[in-house]
Amino acid sequence: MTTLLKVNNLKTHFFTHTGVVKAVDGVSFHIDESEIVAVVGESGCGKSVSQLSIMQLVSTPPGKIVDGTVEFEGRDILRLDPKGKEMRGIRGGKISMIFQEPMTSLNPLLTIHRQLTEAMEVHLDLDRSQIHDRAIELLDMVGISDTDKRIHDYPHQFSGGMRQRIMIAMALSCNPRIIIADEPTTALDVTTQAQLLELMSDLVSKFKASLIIVTHNLGIVARYARRIYVMYAGRVIESGTAKEIFGSPKHPYTRGLLNCVPRLDTKDETRLVPIAGSIPNLVNMKPNCAFYSRCQHRVEECKREYWPVLRHITGLHHVSCHAC
């Protein structure tokens, strides 16, 4: 498989009056064609900012992409003018995004028709009636019934799950190569969540697009993602195929994440093991391993040395830890 998008040593920092927040600090990952990849981590670990950086959607100031490259179709798209024509062609066209809150990411004052066709008018070379037909076809595809009528409805007339389906239709509308889904199912019921994930993985393979799922829920990732990146405090601390990560998690944080959620298939007698402490404040971080203070397996090296580099273990499995 050929690599479609390659992020290399990405650094996005926020310059605030209390200090520099290194939200993304040297993140590298890639995604192949027709692949589903997951970026996992708790809130504040930099997973969303890393995705927004790809699209050059980080608001400047206070945010700034200070280093790194994003290779897409043979060039570094971080060098493109964020407001320029080329970047606008990529954003929403070749790479599209699905956001977490379907309530806030749709404009309440415009009809679904208006919002769904807007991107197509910009990116596709079609006339109005072709665009209209395509909009109807997309809504059919994501499972909205009575599309002829409902396309003229406003967002408040749809339920949360339906709104997220509309977001998926919007993301697919311009035949993107990559779809970035940022917590696509977090605010929804489990049954709706299952429906939507199934729908997304079907459609991605139908459209031959690649999908990056950003989530904090390791469970949903197990079924759909081929590879996983686990992030903590602005860095990737473990990566590998889903089977490598779930089968033999190496980093104490990854293991912690797996042990702290109750599982449906185990008896309740096992007590949950919470991860001690809480997520560090990213302002003016020390250069050593950011997980140090919460880690059960820390060694002397972890305090003294710089943050460990991602080290190869087996197959595609990489981990960044001194102690394992």
Partner 1 sequence: MYFPLKRGLLRKKEADIKAVDGVNFRIKKGETLGLVGESGSGKTTTGKCILRLHKPTEGKITFNGKEIASLRERDMKPLRPGMSMIFQDPYSSLDPRQKAGAIVGEPLIIHRLVRNRKEYRDRVEELFRLVNLDPRMIDRVPHEFSGGQRQRVGIARALAGEPSLLICDEPVSALDVSIQAQVINLLKDLREKMKGLSYLFIAHDLSVVRHISHRIAVMYLGRIVEVLDQDTLYDNPLHPYTRALLSAVPVPDPFIEEKRERIALKGEIPSVLNSPSGCSFHPRCPLAKRECRQKPPDMRLVGKDHEVACHLV
Q: Can the peptide bond before residue 184 be classed as cis, meaning omega within 30 degrees of 0?
A: no
Interface segment toward partner 1; rule CB under 8 A; list 18-26, 47-55, 98-106, 256-264: 256-264
Nearest to 239 by CA among 308, 323, 314, 293: 314
Q: Which of 31, 77, 162, 178 binds partner 1 (CB under 8 A)?
A: 162
**Of residues 84 and 247, the one with the C-beta less far from partner 1:** 247
Q: What CA–CA distance (Å, rounded) separates 286 from 290?
A: 8
Selected binder of partner 1 within 34, 111, 217, 293 (CB under 8 A): 217
Binding mask 261-300 for partner 1 (x = CB under 8 A): xxxxx-xx--xxxxx--xx---------------------
Binding span for partner 1 by CB under 8 A among 69-77, 130-138, 188-196, 206-214: 188-196
Angle made by CA atoms 75, 242, 101, in degrees to the nearest 5: 70
Report the residue from 242, 282, 302, 321 that binds partner 1 according to the rule CB under 8 A: 242
- 312 binds partner 1 per the rule CB under 8 A: no
Q: What phi, psi does 66 have (nearest 5°)?
A: -90, -20
Backbone angles phi, psi at 138, to 5 degrees: -65, -45
Q: How far is the CB of 130 from partner 1 (least distance, A)?
A: 30
- Residue placing its CB nearer to partner 1 in the complex, 82 or 143: 143
Question: Is the CB of 136 or the CB of 258 nearer to partner 1?
Answer: 258
Q: Is 303 helix (H, G, I), strand (E, B) or coil?
A: helix
Query: Longest Cα pair distance anywhere in the chain, in angstroms?
Result: 67
Nearer to partner 1, 2 or 266 (CB): 266
Nearer Cβ to partner 1, position 175 or 195?
195
The two structure tokens encoding residue 228: 């996983």
CA distance 105 to 98: 9
In 3-state terms the chain splits into helix, strand, coil percentages (rounded to 5) of: 35, 25, 40
Stretch touching partner 1 by CB under 8 A, among 22-30, 85-93, 240-248, 299-307: 240-248
DSSP assignment letter at 58: S
254 binds partner 1 (CB under 8 A): no
Conformation bin of residue 322: beta by default, left when phi > 0, alpha when psi is -120 to 50: alpha
Q: Does the protein bind partner 1 through residue 258 (CB under 8 A)?
A: yes
Contacts with partner 1, residue ranges (CB under 8 A): 42-43, 159, 161-162, 189-195, 198, 216-223, 242-243, 246-247, 256-258, 260-265, 267-268, 271-275, 278-279
